[in-house]
Structure 1
Amino acid sequence: MVRWLHPAMLVRTGLDALVAAAFGARADHRLIEAVVRPQPPFFDYSEESPDGDFWLDYAADSGDGWNSTYTVARLMALPSMELKDAAGQTHPTERGRILVLGGDQVYPGASRETYEERLVLPYEEAMARTKQPSPDLFAIPGNHDWYDGLSAFMRLFCANRWLAGRRTRQSRSYFALKLPRGWWLIGTDVQLNSDIDVPQVEYFHQVATHMKPDDRVILCNAEPAWILAATSQRRGYLENNLEYLQEKVFGRRISLFLAGDLHHYKRHEDPEGRQKITAGGAGAFMHPTHTPSAHRLRDGYEQKECFPDERTSRKLARRNLMLIRSSPLFGLMTGALYLLLALATYTEIGVFGLSNMVDALAAVASSVVTRPWSLTLGLATIGGLIGFADPTFGRWRVLAGTLHGLAHITAAFFVAWGSVYFTVSVMGICPDVISGNTALVPGVALCAAGWTHVWAKFLLGALFTFAGGFLVGPFIMGLYLAVSVNAFGAHYNEAFISLAIEDWKNFLRLRIDKEGQLTVYPVGIERVPRKWKETHAGPYAPAYDPDDPEATEPVLIESPIRVRPRR
């Protein structure tokens, strides 16, 4: 899995986000493709399976760790699969004639290398070749696909090529599929600004002219706008072209909304039986289900199911208290911060024990007053953590960031104090003769050796301070994240990228029967395998099968969902 809190990864993703924010809107690839990449108004599958069921698969947010990505790819590659629901009833399903990838196909950012390593290879090992008819593959981009301006995405998905046993057909980053029995699937590209461009609106206007009054639409967006709008994370979120597309172009034809971006499963339903499903569990790290909390949406939809359940989600969030286990190298950053804070306020307090805390504090305070850069560094630490604080805190954001910053500064003081005290008063290396009584500390004679021991004291004190910051800093950060996400619903992204949980994966299998009824089968995997064995089964089967007795079998997250026909 991507280790998001690795210092190098933080720098890389920060630069990617900065460049995308600065140039993404000014270099909109969609405007170019609308001119130079012709695409038919829709891809027609309406005449397929005239006397039987038509199946298609939907998966979003893949391309992270091997175990999670390959697990989902392998299950979708199987020609058929029987799934049990909570009541123990078995439901037969078939591999989709079409696979729709719903956004963020790779992490941490798009490039030819990351697509190859984290998406293409797992999918090729799952289904490099297949018996005819070969499935088709369509994809919509998410924000991570846009980090390189959509260049790698277009090369991979919009070049009419074969990809892991499936044929790609689209030439743009958005598309329309005409499915059997009056169903349509619309895939949009919301870019980085959570909106669609004017040529895309015109394209879908043209698509709508081919629809009959009783046709129904499956709308696939890269982000669950309904959850973000309900939690007021983005004011006016739908006051844009996407809202116009949903309300004016397709309107009440839309019976099923699908989205990824949040890496879990959630389903909302309105009184008429229309569904809004978030299913971003094709391989990326897990997001919590207890936040963002949106049990009731603005348009009357109510939450019916989530995977994992909210109690489990809160329990998993508490793993942040042992953040150093899931993100061990994050301690390099906190260790360096604590060391800088200690050096900026360095003063001779090695002979002060806990009984002399007032004297130690006075000495450090005096150092801060006489060294302006130490005060500047402290204020910069607090200011940086105020900026890091989640906007979900609202008017309490400054307080949350200040308390977080003061916690690290306080911890840095005690870590540095303990380090120099251990070096001087316990190891006896160059004790500080403050009281004029050299008998205060055993081993005072070592100072007579000269500058060698002075440097030894400095280097050992610095080493112990860095080590203390390496251990203590992640705990404080983890405590802050755990409290934020469980008590205030804040930092749900940061609290779970830190954990990189590869379990609790999901994807959707959809069936249109011969009567035109659409049924959704939400497939969930609670624990993905960590070990694999080669199958040696030939080209028409996955290359590896699970070899992990603790892995769980795929099941239905809930009973099959029947999307009611439009009235």
Structure 2
Amino acid sequence: MVNSSRDTAEGAGWGGSERGAYQRLMPGEVEKISWLDPRMLWAARNGVLASWFGDPTGRTRGRWTAQQAAAGASADKVIRRPDPDRFSFMVIGDTGEGDDPQYAVVPGFLKVAQDTSFAVLASDVIYPVGSADDYDTKFFRPYRDYPAPIYAIPGNHDWYEDLGAFMRVFCGDAPPLPAEPKPRPLTRAWLRSLLWHRPRPGDGQRLEEARALRSAPGQQAVQPGPYWAIDAGPVRIVGIDTGLLGTVDAEQGAWLREVSSGPRPKILITGSPLYVDGEHHPCPIEGGGTVDEIVRDPAHHYVAAIGGDIHNYQRYPVRLADGRILQYVVAGGGGAFMHATHTIQRVDVGGVTESDFRCYPLRGDSLAFYSRLYGRRLRLPRFFTLTEAEATAVVAERLAIPPTRAPGGPVRLTRRIRLVASLLGAGRRPDRTARFRLPVRKIYTSLFSPSSATYSPPFFKCFLRLDVTPESVRLRCHAATGNRAQELHPPVEDEVVIPLN
């Protein structure tokens, strides 16, 4: 049995272990994404524009699906696979930054995925804006040795260029949408159109060359559009597209209700998790209702809802009024910069308490990771840096919970340790220093996290393997730290067996 982060600090990747062989897979030159670069911020402006001037995603998505239907895509958007009653598939979310953390996932992913039937990319296939020319090093190259098909649902970053590249790669080389009439002057739509980011001329010239990296017959798959369902063995996997702002348009909502009917057990894959960071986000549907209402309906037989977008792993086993347990999972740790888990307060949501909740990285490892980031960024390593044992102990104190991983020896919590934990928002417990907290979750995520991402282990990345039988689904979260030990034997950070009856 390989040690995980719940067992030892070495199992978490701390301790200067031998670096893995993932760098041999990487291209010679890697562009590092920095959201402090004004050019990057300007290119990724469409999400802000959509929130200011109205979100055009639903209309554009409708045009894409209409064009696909006219080209012969199945009307019900269901992919019917020949998988047996017992099969396995992979889920990996928020992958495409194309740097060390993404490639560090690949060796372990390939090892665990050897006998799986297919994989699903859950949200944000390509950063920063979903450009076609980025698919070479951020999709085709890292997964060229995965022998089975890969399906995908887009995230908000894939929508920053109106989803054109995503549709070309995953939906049968879909041609560009025809130009629309210009909006009436001086309207909100007109202002939005003036500022809207669009693909640069000539984008995608290297796409055909990149496709050669995944050109084997067994690797090919064509999906009907940005949202779809897969009938595989005894289950139906339903993938929905939540666009730029984490919502579902009316047309997709009607399809979701229709495709969710029937007794077949179902698993939702979504770009926006329904439970995350100790909060419930049911995901509104244009015209009324929410995605979670559909998922909870006993007539629809959902057993799990897996979402990307947030770059870590979380699991909430929610017991519904009729006694069923729905597993709500966050699975966005596939390669992009790490979102903190140490800022998650003591969990008490949807009937899920702290003893039921699981996350990766563990909160103590997250705090230790961010203390090192701030120590380097502010050039105060002696003040900010916490050992993993110190971080684990202070998180346990602030949340009033037992340490998830027992420290190697006694830890004395000093005023400095408590101050650093408070400044970095550990547990979010109010205290006198709360007004001086440094940005970790929202502002830091938007601006500093990507540019401060470490390029040496441990990375705290993860991916899922789901083993399906007629009776159950076994879901396992595997870790990828960037160290050789975890490449050879990817540790299981969480495991749950989900009954299908």
Q: TM-score, normalised to structure 2's length? A: 0.64
Contact 2:276 2:314 in 1 (8 A): no
Contact 1:64 1:107 in 2 (8 A): yes
Does 2:287 align with 1:287?
no
Contact 1:73 1:122 in 2 (8 A): yes
Spell out the pairing of 1:98-497 with structure 2 (5 A cutoff). 98-124=118-144, 126-127=145-146, 130=147, 135-159=148-172, 164=214, 165=216, 166-181=219-234, 183-209=235-261, 211-212=262-263, 215-227=264-276, 230-231=278-279, 238=284, 243-248=289-294, 251-252=297-298, 253-271=301-319, 272-293=324-345, 295-298=347-350, 300=352, 303-318=356-371, 319-323=373-377, 481=438, 484-485=439-440, 491=443, 493-494=445-446, 496-497=449-450
- Distance in 2, Cα, partners of 1:242 & 1:295: 29
Shift of the 16–198 alpha-carbon distance from structure 1 to 2, 3 Å rule, reads closer
Contact 2:260 2:294 in 1 (8 A): no
Shift of the 5–101 alpha-carbon distance from structure 1 to 2, 3 Å rule, reads closer
Does 2:80 align with 1:44?
yes
Q: Which amino acid aligns with 2:445?
A: N
SS in 2 for 1:148: coil
Q: Which amino acid aligns with 2:223?
A: Q
Does 2:32 align with 1:32?
no
SS in 2 for 1:201: helix
- Distance in 2, Cα, partners of 1:95 & 1:501: 32
| C-alpha displacement of 1:16 | 4.6
Shift of the 565–123 alpha-carbon distance from structure 1 to 2, 3 Å rule, reads closer
Shift of the 564–504 alpha-carbon distance from structure 1 to 2, 3 Å rule, reads same
- Distance in 2, Cα, partners of 1:242 & 1:219: 19
- Distance in 2, Cα, partners of 1:554 & 1:118: 24
- Distance in 1, Cα, partners of 2:41 & 2:154: 23
Gapped regions of structure 1 (runs ≥ 5): 82-92, 327-389, 404-479, 530-548
- Distance in 2, Cα, partners of 1:121 & 1:290: 33
Aligned pairs, how many? 365
Question: In the alignment, what sits opposite 2:394?
Answer: none
Deviations 1:239-264 (A, max 9, x none): 76695343247723121110111111
Q: Which amino acid aligns with 1:251?
A: D
- Distance in 2, Cα, partners of 1:152 & 1:17: 17
Spell out the pairing of 1:14-29 with structure 2 (5 A cutoff). 15-21=45-51, 25-26=55-56, 28-29=59-60
- Distance in 1, Cα, partners of 2:347 & 2:305: 16
Question: In the alignment, what sits opposite 2:452?
Answer: 499
- Distance in 1, Cα, partners of 2:366 & 2:237: 32
Q: TM-score, normalised to structure 1's length? A: 0.57
Contact 1:154 1:173 in 2 (8 A): yes
- Distance in 1, Cα, partners of 2:285 & 2:61: 20
Shift of the 44–33 alpha-carbon distance from structure 1 to 2, 3 Å rule, reads same
| C-alpha displacement of 1:153 | 1.0
| C-alpha displacement of 1:293 | 3.5
Question: In the alignment, what sits opposite 1:384?
Answer: none
Shift of the 270–12 alpha-carbon distance from structure 1 to 2, 3 Å rule, reads same
- Distance in 1, Cα, partners of 2:442 & 2:132: 34
| C-alpha displacement of 1:122 | 2.1
Question: In the alignment, what sits opposite 1:535?
Answer: none
- Distance in 2, Cα, partners of 1:150 & 1:220: 18
Q: Structure 1 residues 58-67 or 114-123, which shifts more?
A: 114-123
- Distance in 2, Cα, partners of 1:523 & 1:206: 33
Shift of the 2–517 alpha-carbon distance from structure 1 to 2, 3 Å rule, reads same
Q: Which amino acid aligns with 1:565?
A: L
SS in 2 for 1:270: strand
Aligned-residue RMSD, C-alpha: 3.5
Higher alpha-carbon Rg: 1
Q: Which amino acid aligns with 2:272?
A: E
Does 2:491 align with 1:556?
yes
SS in 1 for 2:268: strand
Question: In the alignment, what sits opposite 1:523?
Answer: 478
Contact 1:521 1:556 in 2 (8 A): no
Contact 1:266 1:277 in 2 (8 A): yes
Q: 1:2 aligns with which of 27, 32, 40?
A: 32
Q: 1:61 aligns with which of 70, 94, 100?
A: 94
SS in 2 for 1:71: helix
Gapped regions of structure 2 (runs ≥ 5): 1-30, 175-210, 381-424
Deviations 1:426-479 (A, max 9, x none): xxxxxxxxxxxxxxxxxxxxxxxxxxxxxxxxxxxxxxxxxxxxxxxxxxxxxx
- Distance in 1, Cα, partners of 2:149 & 2:84: 15
Contact 1:66 1:122 in 2 (8 A): no
Deviations 1:355-384 (A, max 9, x none): xxxxxxxxxxxxxxxxxxxxxxxxxxxxxx
Question: In the alignment, what sits opposite 1:85?
Answer: none
Deviations 1:134-175 (A, max 9, x none): x22211111100111111111111116977252222121000
